[in-house]
Amino acid sequence: MSLQLFELFKGFRLMDLLDIAIVAYVSYKAIQLIQGTRAVQLLKGLVVLVVSTKLSEWLGLYTINWILRNAMTVGVIALLIVFQPELRRALEQLGRGRFFSSPLLGLAEEEMNKVIDHIAGAAEELSKVQIGALIVLEKQTGLNEYIETGVKIGGYVTIELLINIFEPNTPLHDGAIIIRNDRIMAAGCYLPLTENPNLSKELGTRHRAALGVTEESDAVAIIVSEETGVISVAKEGKLSRYLDVKTLKNMLKDIYEIKEKKPSLWYWRKDHA
């Protein structure tokens, strides 16, 4: 056994180790780059297609195998077209020296609770005075392509900052705020509008943009109507309207799977003694 291992590594050089390490690191950074974007779902579909092609070959399903092999041939060209935004972003980040930067980490449950409280508080205040707002919360699918259309902020989420951004007659009043973790990444962002023909005509551009971005990603959008002050939430291309602050908080906590902490039995007995 030891002789076999010796023969295996006999021709192995130090430069080979360096070569493998560089390829592994670049591959790791490339995975980080597309993580949380639509490219991940597309790659999953590609893996399913490759596995199905091999399975059809092993099982002797010749017609299916022929269709899948031809689909793979066309798929190479299709992938270049579909991944065009990600490829462009990778080259831009490489040129700016950001390709090797570390990604942002997720938030703990307590920190996410604070973010939700600030967003709900801002929505309540904006609703009272009927100031329009569109707040988008990024989840697993990255929204960098939309962040790049706005003005970079990078500040922590607070009620005061959210209200100030949406103040009428200010440069960033129109457009969306995009939040990643506990940071406002950008304001005044342009979002894709939904193409749903069955929407009510009373819904304005903010609602259509909120539905559009949630149709194309797993993001969650909070909308405050400028005309009525009504608070709404868009998720997965569906709109929930006429929400109060408590319902908004509960909905966001459900979306992020945050459980309400119940007081322990000892505290309950102490308070009710």
* pLDDT grade for 91, boundaries at 50, 70 and 90: low
Domain identity same for 87 and 183: no
Whether 168 and 47 map to the same domain: the answer is no
Lowest mean pLDDT among 5-14, 66-75, 179-188: 5-14
We report the CATH number of the domain holding residue 196 as 3.40.1700.10
Residue 245 lies in a domain: yes
Range of the domain at 234: 109-255
Residue 259: pLDDT above 60?
Answer: yes
Rounded to an integer, the average pLDDT of 22-37 is 73
R_g (Cα) of the chain, nearest Å = 25
Please count the other Cβ atoms lying within 10 Å of the Cβ belonging to residue 56.
Answer: 18
Same-domain pairing of 60 and 113: no
Residue 182 lies in a domain: yes
Q: Could you report the per-residue pLDDT of 98-148, keeping only the tens digit for each?
A: 444 444 346 678 888 899 999 999 999 999 999 999 999 998 777 888 999
Whole-number percent of the chain with pLDDT over 70 = 74
β-pairing verdict for 133-137 and 220-224? antiparallel
The answer to whether residues 187 and 216 belong to one domain is: yes
Tens digit of each residue's pLDDT (9 = 90 or more) over 179-205: 998 999 999 999 989 877 778 878 889
Residue 272 lies in a domain: no
Tell me: the pLDDT tens digits for 229-239?
A: 999 999 988 89
Residues 142 and 39 in one domain: no
- Among the residue ranges 53-57, 246-250, 268-272, the one predicted with the least confidence is 268-272
